[in-house]
Structure 1
Amino acid sequence: MDTILHFLSSHPGVKYGGTVLLAYMALVRHLRYKRINVLLKKYPDPTIPLRNHDIAREVAANVSEYEFPFLNVVSLEFALFKTYAIPSISKILAATNEFKNDCLRRADDTVFILLEVTERHARDVRRTMIDGKPDEKEQLNDERRAELAMERLNFLHGHYNIKQDDYLYTLALFVLEPPSFLGRFEWRPLTDLEKNALLAQWIHNGKIMGIQNIPTSVAELEQWALAYETKHAVFAPTNRVIADATIDLLLSLTPSFMHPFGRKVISCLLTDRLRTAFKIAPPPRGLTPIVEGILYARAAFIRHFMLPRRLPLVRTALRANKENKYVPQFHKYKPVYPDGYRIEDLGPAKFVGKCPVSFHASGKTPASSLESL
């Protein structure tokens, strides 16, 4: 101890630098937790999102557009990837040839349809912060964008014989994977308020899609999904076809010489059941702790050293352009829609220009309006 004190007294710059660093870390911690602490104080009842959809949207937007914009997207991509381990799902996807012919477009179409719905609140917040005042016209347009996206989703799904339980399993993963993935690898776990907000958001969307018998608690949904996965996640050749196409797309962001190693990294994130269902080899011994260690280090760095974002990260356009198209604010892969897209044209090329017609998962036209979306 005397040696340390002598060193600090002899090197005042180190002492002052350490003080500044600790002060900065304290500031980061305060600001990092400020937004969630405000929400927890504002909504002390963690179940309130289940009864108020506006609150659910607000809280869910905090998860996806403020706190965890990168790994939240990864968790949803992982959720979709897990559905490919169900043969009844992968067979339908393989039969369309979309993954084989244009996996990137298929991925972006799916993402933009969902983001048109889930980014509605964040688009309004970002516009207001940039413009200095709310844009009531665009708020109304955001409602229509969300409605049209759900109509388009139902229209596209209505052309395929998708089982109710497969719909429900996919919905369950959209609710369950973000808390699981973020809880393992992000700078803080989700609160019960946030988990219930995600559940409420997807219960709402699921009802519009006509999905039946959706569990009304996270615990019940988790129990159902685990039982369904245990029974139905088994190997089929189409599982591997869809998995390979998706992995190739993910690895397209890296140099080709890294792809074999990248496949091993992806294997680290899979359970034994999923590896069996895809016939993916387990990773080399020792690689999983390294991959997880890197993700843990990232989380620690963010928690202690990175200031929170001021504006929500939004991928969809805040407004339509002169051609009434929505130009994405950024692209994760090679741009599919560099000049923008019309929501009613998203999906396979053979359905472009076809009017969206609302279908329930049951195959029936929904009786209820989408205006409450």
Structure 2
Amino acid sequence: MHAPGRYANLRRIQSLDPEVDHDEILRLTARHEFPWDYTQGTGIAFMRDYGVPSIAALLDRTREFEDHGTKRYDDTILIGDEATLDGIDSPRSHAALRRLNRIHGHYDIPDHELAYVLATTIVGPVRWIEAYGWRRLDPVELAAITKVTTRFGELMGLKGLPTTYDGYLALLLDYERRHFAHTPAATRLAEASIRIARDLAPAPLRPLLRRVTIAVMDEPLRDALGLPRQPAWFVRAVRGGLRTRGRLLRLAPPRRTAYVHRPTTYPHGHRLEDLGPLSMLDHLNAPTHREGSHA
């Protein structure tokens, strides 16, 4: 059973060429077909970074999550939006990536760490949709998402990136096998991120949000973050509830308007100049650095 027109977007996607139409396919997949799932998968993806001690140490040292957590969360999503809403090779995207590169340029981050973080941004949403989405992802969607991810990485100056989803998954698994380890910084960052999510969640969901977040984590991630194991019955209930939601969504009509993140930090809209750590904004927006902006 499914709603009339439920698979119209999928049929449209299957008629497109991921080599050429990757921006359109990503828009349909992430903003029409699976907007909530994509956001949840991305949220878990952010937390994987904390399982790598060198990344956790840097993020912990900046205190961005502790002191300006909601802005840090919004800015991360908004830079992704700026890079994809008009297409990955649009002027808007290139301006966003130049800004991201300048922010990263303030820190000594090796390319292999940036490549791992990039891999989490594709593997996180895909794994979530595979587990809890209302349908499977089509190979055309995986190819398009991969194409955009690799181009995003190239615009960050990264070389030798995977060109298939399986390549990104292998990169992530291999990197985590070699680098995942628990540190106190990882736990501090994870707890700060959960507090951000709790603050942004509807009031009835807040009391259980921390336990639910832990329940959807795989064991290697939970161990690396040093978070308490949840009872098996609770994990089964949370994951079963998410799968039931996915099945029920087959009965829903397709989304008519594209989902766009509404940032708490910028209720009246943002410009590119607003994005980035507060301590860095004057430097980032100095005349030699300024780029075009977007509402």
TM-score normalized by the length of structure 1: 0.72
- Identify the residue that residue 15 of structure 1 maps to in structure 2: none
1:233-272 alignment to 2 at 5 Å?
233-252=180-199, 253-255=201-203, 258-259=206-207, 261-272=208-219
Unaligned runs of 5+ in 1: 1-24, 123-141, 316-329, 358-373
Matches within 5 A, 1:1-373: 28=3, 30-40=4-14, 42-43=15-16, 48-49=17-18, 51-52=19-20, 55-120=21-86, 143-252=90-199, 253-255=201-203, 258-259=206-207, 261-304=208-251, 306-315=252-261, 330-331=262-263, 335-355=264-284
Structure 1: distance between partners of 2:205 and 2:165: 41
% identity of equivalent residues: 28
Q: Displacement of 1:57 after TM fit?
A: 0.6
Instruction: Name the CA distance, whole Å, in 1 between partners of 2:24 and 2:231.
Output: 42
Range that drifts further, 171-180 or 201-210? 171-180
What residue identity is the alignment partner of 2:58? I
Q: 1:344·1:353 contact (CA, 8 Å) conserved in 2?
A: no
Q: When the two structures are superposed, what TM-score results if normalisation uses the length of structure 2? A: 0.90
Question: For residues 103 and 81 of structure 1, what CA distance do their matches in structure 2 show?
Answer: 13
Listed one character per residue, the Cα deviations across residues 213-262 of structure 1 (whole Å, up to 9, x for unaligned) are 21122222211210111111101111111111001111122549953x32
- Aligned partner of residue 13 in structure 2, secondary structure: helix
The 8 Å contact of residues 151 and 356 in structure 1, kept in 2 or not, is answered as: no
Question: What per-residue deviation string (whole Å, max 9, x for no partner) do you get for residues 322-363 of structure 1?
Answer: xxxxxxxx34xxx21123322023111122243469xxxxxx
Q: Quick one: which amino acid aligns to residue 67 of structure 1?
A: E
Distance in 1, Cα, partners of 2:69 & 2:31: 25
Post-superposition offset of 1:314? 2.5
Measure, in 2, the Cα distance between the counterparts of 1:300 and 1:200: 29
* Distance in 2 (alpha carbons) for counterparts of 1:163 and 1:346: 23
Distance 1:39 1:265 in 2: 33
The equivalent residue for 1:14 is none
Residue number in structure 1 paired with 2:289 = none
Show the counterpart of 1:19: none
Quote the Cα distance in structure 2 between the aligned partners of 1:150 and 1:144. Answer: 10
Structure 2 unpaired stretches of 5+: 287-295
Deviations 1:289-323 (A, max 9, x none): 1111111111111102x1011221223xxxxxxxx
C-alpha separation between the residues in 1 aligned to 2:24 and 2:171? 27
Match of 1:13 in 2: none
CA distance in 1, matches of 2:195, 2:137: 30
Partner of 1:31: helix, strand, or coil?
Answer: coil
Q: Higher Cα Rg: structure 1 or 2?
A: 1
Q: Kindly tell me: are residues 167 and 278 of structure 1, through their superposed partners in 2, closer, same or farther at Cα, counting changes over 3 Å?
A: same
Number of equivalenced pairs:
285
